[in-house]
């Protein structure tokens, strides 16, 4: 297997049916997650809940800036998978397509995690 230039691979995206849409959905979900966390988490002195389970309730607290690791991990994952897609698209089209589909699903899961973790307590 010969890896190709990622730039050359990204130019092939428009020829693959549905993939520009999947990439746009993944990027939009990541942007929405950033906006949600930026709106819900404000700088403060008191620690905030960072993890919640149905069994134990809040089981991890920490400083406010740790909350931004969730959308940051989604952004890093998105960029790495776009690079992997671009490198694989010419040689292994099915694998490259699966990488982007899985990326969109994982971004959706991260959005759900952000919403459940940083929702207002009632």
The 10s digit of each residue's pLDDT in 10-49 is: 565 555 666 788 889 999 999 999 999 999 988 888 888 8
**Phi-psi bin for 66: left (phi > 0), alpha (psi -120 to 50), beta?**
alpha
Domain ranges of the chain: 6-117
Question: What is the rounded distance in angstroms from the CA atom of residue 97 to the CA atom of residue 107?
Answer: 16
Count Cα atoms within 13 angstroms, Cβ side, for 72.
Answer: 5
Q: How far is CA 4 from the centre of its chain?
A: 25
Closest C-alpha among 76, 86, 62 to residue 33 = 76
Model pTM greater than 0.85?
A: no
Closest C-alpha among 7, 8, 29, 9 to residue 78 = 29
For the beta carbon of residue 106, count every other beta carbon within 10 angstroms: 18
DSSP per-residue codes, 2-30: ----HHHHHHTGGGSTTHHHHHHHHHHHH
The 10s digit of each residue's pLDDT in 81-97 is: 988 888 887 788 888 88
What is the predicted pLDDT for the residue at 38? 93
């Amino acid at each position: 297997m010969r890896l190709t230039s990622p730039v050359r691979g990204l130019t092939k995206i428009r020829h693959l049916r549905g993939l520009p849409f999947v990439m746009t959905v993944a990027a939009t979900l990541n942007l929405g997650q950033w906006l949600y966390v930026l709106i819900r988490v404000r700088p403060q002195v008191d620690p905030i809940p960072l993890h919640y389970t149905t069994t134990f309730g809040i089981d991890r607290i920490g400083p406010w800036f740790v909350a931004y690791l969730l959308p940051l991990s989604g952004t890093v994952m998105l960029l790495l998978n776009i690079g992997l897609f671009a490198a694989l698209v010419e040689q292994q089209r099915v694998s490259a397509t699966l990488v982007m589909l899985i990326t969109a699903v994982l971004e959706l899961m991260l959005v759900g995690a952000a919403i459940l973790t940083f929702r207002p307590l009632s």
